[in-house]
Structure 1
Amino acid sequence: MCRTSAILPLGILTLVVLSSAYVQNTHELYTTLFENYTNILRPVQNEQETVRVSVKFLLRGISEFDEVRGQLSLATAVDLRWRDTTLSWNRTEYSPRVLVLPETQIWTPRLALSNPTNRILLFFEDSFPVRLYSDGSVIWVQGGTIISTCVPNVEKYPFDVHKCYLVILVIPYTRAEVQLYPSIGLSTFEKFGEWELGNNSIEEQLYGGFFSSIVISLEIKRRPEFSLLSTILPILFLGVLNACVFLLPPEQGERVSYALTVLLSFAVFLSIISSVMPKNSEPVPILCYIITAMMAMSGLSTICTVLCLRWYFADQKQSVPYLLTIMCRKRKGKRRHQNCDITSDTAPHKENQTESTQLGECRVTWRDVSATFDIVNLHHRQSIKDLESYSQTSRHRRSSIY
């Protein structure tokens, strides 16, 4: 028991001594490394040497894609690695294997975006520490949101696919001074929101004839499920309802209000589509053409409804213009309309009497004109009358039998 109580304080004292030695050794290493070091100059021994920087983009997800402003926001991290030979040390002399330092303590390559929306430097407002190893290797991991411009292509909305390009370069060094070696990682990418990532590529190119740049090509695809349920299907249903306006009987007087309601519904959907589309999109979305055409058809059907109602409730004793009379006689001749009567007191028809002569004896009223232009309603009403006549004939036959 006494031996154990004596060993415990000795162990604590040993740890305190070793910790103090480590801190002192690290402090000496730091003082030695940065005694004559400056973070302004490139970390090379010879001016002709090129600093090779490995850049790996770790995409986290697509934060937002604003088609109206043409702005793409990407949540991503950037892993930069290079070698600073002026900051290496011997492990036998100094025990630390790695030093964690502020980014302002050593030279770091500043990445800039050539197609930004508000700021050029990546993650300029945030500070990220660097890891310095004994062999001079430096690892600098940054993270945040990259906001760049992207020209939208909404022609096939909501099945649109956009191709966006991010051009990143290190300033103000030329390729002979600093060269980038890019790569991209998608292991941390998460699918959330309205957009998903399609084909992508990354490569190093010469920018402006002097600078080493990274060109990232991304394919952004929209998930169409929500747009189909909230926009496309209601528009198709309204198109079907627009054709059903002629099924309403003209006597009820609900046709005009029905047609105007459908027309205003198309106008509302057109305003909704216009609010989520860029004002100067090239090419124009096909959906806008479709809605405009359906709106025009709805307006035409409203005009036809008003005219048909005016003709239906007009004075039937007034004469019908000659052109409308010809159109209605042809229609009545084909359908054998019940108003197309041949007077009974005329002479018997000759066998060689033509159909045009019979049509010439048809009497045309304003309701015939309304029924001619109201083709769908004409068929509907004619079928109802045929059913009524058939039911009356059946009842008459049953009564005669009994």
Structure 2
Amino acid sequence: METRLLCSVALVTFLCVVVHCATSTTVLQRLQQHIVSKQTLPIRNTTVSMASLFDIAIDFIPVAIIGLNEETQVFAFSGIIVAAWLDLSSAWNPADFNNTHAVTIESNLLWSPQVSAINSVSRITTTLKEDALIVNNGQITMFYVDAYETSCEIDTGYFPFDEQTCDVLLFPSGRYRFYTPKSDVDTPEYFFRSNEWRLVSVRLQNRSYMQPVFELSFPIQTVVIQFKLKRYSAFYVMSILSPIGILSLMNACVFLLPVESGEKMSFLVSILVSYAMFLNFVYSTMPRSDSLSRLTIYLMLVVSQSCLSIMSTIYLLNMYHASGQPGGGCVAFGMRTSLRSKVKPDNRTVDSFVKDSVSKSKTSIRRIDRFMFLVFSCSALLSLMVFVIY
């Protein structure tokens, strides 16, 4: 008896659930048919004025920063553009549809505005749309989920400690206008961060234009998504700045090598080749433009210092080798002076006089080497400090 009673209760409960689901499905289908049947293009006025345009609110949700190519000046990102507008023909009374206040409908069944990023380098208009959310007061919200590639003017003056601002211009493609009721955009928890760029902020701006076409001028109300990015500079500091700073100090150390070693020129040429390698790496990652970055100027300074050290070393080597020749350098000058006066200096022979002059010449060259080491060391440190501070 109890078993029959339990089975009867279960059967009744199952039938109630089935009837309720069928009723709910029928109500949703009827509501969808009600909305779709009344969908009309919300632009009916053909006069050219701001008052005749249909207002569409724009919002944005950033999802990921894909990258910013300095050489091609292309900014890639992914996000969700949210468009919302009011269509009174799609409104309904919740009491007529089982107290349903909101419903989602496939976007291809509804009219939707075209969202175009006119500074895009690939596809201007996005066509990837999620299901639309419709509220009973007639407010329709459409979600455009896509990855975008837009042009971005790069300022590499402070590379690699630079900040870049990239604008995405959303232009309306019909008889409606875009506007945004907010300025600051919050970053969601599921935002994917980039390894090279830190997203400082995302802002929305309203901009108005008058587009002249032949004898007419069309008003254009647009929304601009403004990204502010800051580069992570640790990689460039460790891979470029630190090695170049060390090389510039080693470049000054050539004046600590004794002239007798014969390794001064090979040492300097090796450092100059290293500079050329770093210059090639930096120039391959930076855009070709008239503006020079501080890093480029710093590299040119250290290369110039390397060239000056090579010329100074050549001059000192010539002085050293000339001091050991009978007619060269300081020795020749001393011998000519002694012969003209026909007086032997300190009653010494000519050989002892030559040896003494050569010794003095080597001592003076060593002093010049020490002085040049201090000059080039201070120059290397000063160039690095100016680059980092300013």
TM-score by length of structure 1 reads 0.74
Deviation at 1:82? Answer: 1.5
SS in 2 for 1:208: strand
Q: Does 1:136 align with 2:138?
A: yes
**Is the Cα contact below 8 Å between 1:204 and 1:214 reproduced in 2?**
yes
Q: Secondary structure at the match of 2:95?
A: coil
- Secondary structure at the residue paired with 1:128? coil
Aligned partner of 1:230 in structure 2 is: 239
RMSD after superposition: 3.4
Shift, 1:23, TM fit: 2.3
Q: Which amino acid aligns with 1:196?
A: R
Using the TM superposition, give the Cα deviation of residue 265 of structure 1 relative to its aligned residue in structure 2, in angstroms. 0.8
The alpha carbon displacement at 1:244 in A equals: 0.6
Deviations 1:311-370 (A, max 9, x none): 534582331269x959xx9xxxxxxxxxxxx82139xxxxxxxxxxxxxx9999678667
2:28 aligns with: 26
1:162-201 superposed matches below 5 A: 162-173=164-175, 177-183=176-182, 184-188=184-188, 191-198=193-200, 201=203
Distance (whole Å) between structure 1 residues aligned to residue 359 and residue 61 of structure 2: 74
User: Of Structure 1 and Structure 2, which has the larger fraction of its residues in helix?
Assistant: 2
Which position in structure 2 is the counterpart of 1:42? 42
Of the three residues 81, 99, 117, the one matched with 1:78 is 81
**1:100-111 to 2 correspondence within 5 Å?**
100-111=104-115
Q: Report the counterpart of residue 218 of structure 1 in structure 2.
A: 227
Output one character per residue of 1:41-83: Cα deviation in whole Å (capped at 9) or x when no partner: 2277999765332211122343211111112223322222212
Contact 1:44 1:86 (C-alpha < 8 Å) held by counterparts: no
- The match for 2:251 among 242, 245, 252 is 242
Within 5 Å, which residues of 2 pair with 1:295-310?
295-310=303-318
Listed one character per residue, the Cα deviations across residues 166-195 of structure 1 (whole Å, up to 9, x for unaligned) are: 22122122xxx4342243422315654222
- Secondary structure of the corresponding residue to residue 284 of structure 1: coil
Check the 8 A contact 2:177/2:222 in 1, yes or no. no
Residue 297 and residue 370 in structure 1: after superposition, are their counterparts in 2 closer, same or farther (change >3 A)? farther
- Structure 1 CA distance, aligned partners of 2:315 and 2:301? 21
How do 1:1-400 and structure 2 match up within 5 A?
1=2, 2-35=4-37, 37-38=39-40, 41-42=41-42, 50-95=53-98, 96-121=100-125, 123-124=126-127, 126-173=128-175, 177-183=176-182, 184-188=184-188, 191-198=193-200, 201-209=203-211, 210-280=219-289, 282-313=290-321, 316-320=324-328, 343-345=345-347, 372=364, 375-377=367-369
**Are the structure 2 counterparts of residues 172 and 37 from structure 1 closer, same or farther at C-alpha, using a change threshold of 3 Å?**
closer
Number of residues of Structure 1 aligned to a counterpart in Structure 2: 344
Q: Distance in 1 between matches of 2:296 and 2:265?
A: 25
Q: Is the 8 A contact 1:53 1:80 kept in 2?
A: yes
Secondary structure at the aligned position of 1:92 is classed as: helix
**1:264-287 residue CA offsets vs partner (Å, 9 max, x unmatched):** 11111111111111111x420122
2:168 match: secondary structure: strand
**Counterparts of 2:173 and 2:333, CA distance in 1:** 82
Distance apart, 1:238 and its partner CA: 0.3
Q: Which runs of 5+ in 1 are unaligned?
A: 330-341, 347-360, 381-402
Q: Could you say which structure has the larger radius of gyration?
A: 1
- For 1:358, the equivalent position in structure 2 comes to none
| CA distance in structure 1 between the aligned counterparts of 2:59 and 2:266, rounded to whole angstroms | 62
Cα distance in 2 for partners of 1:296, 1:369 equals 28
The 3 A distance-change label for structure 1 pair 94 and 43 is farther
Structure 2 CA distance for aligned equivalents of residues 192 and 299 of structure 1: 40
Q: 1:317 to 1:46 in 2, by over 3 A?
A: closer
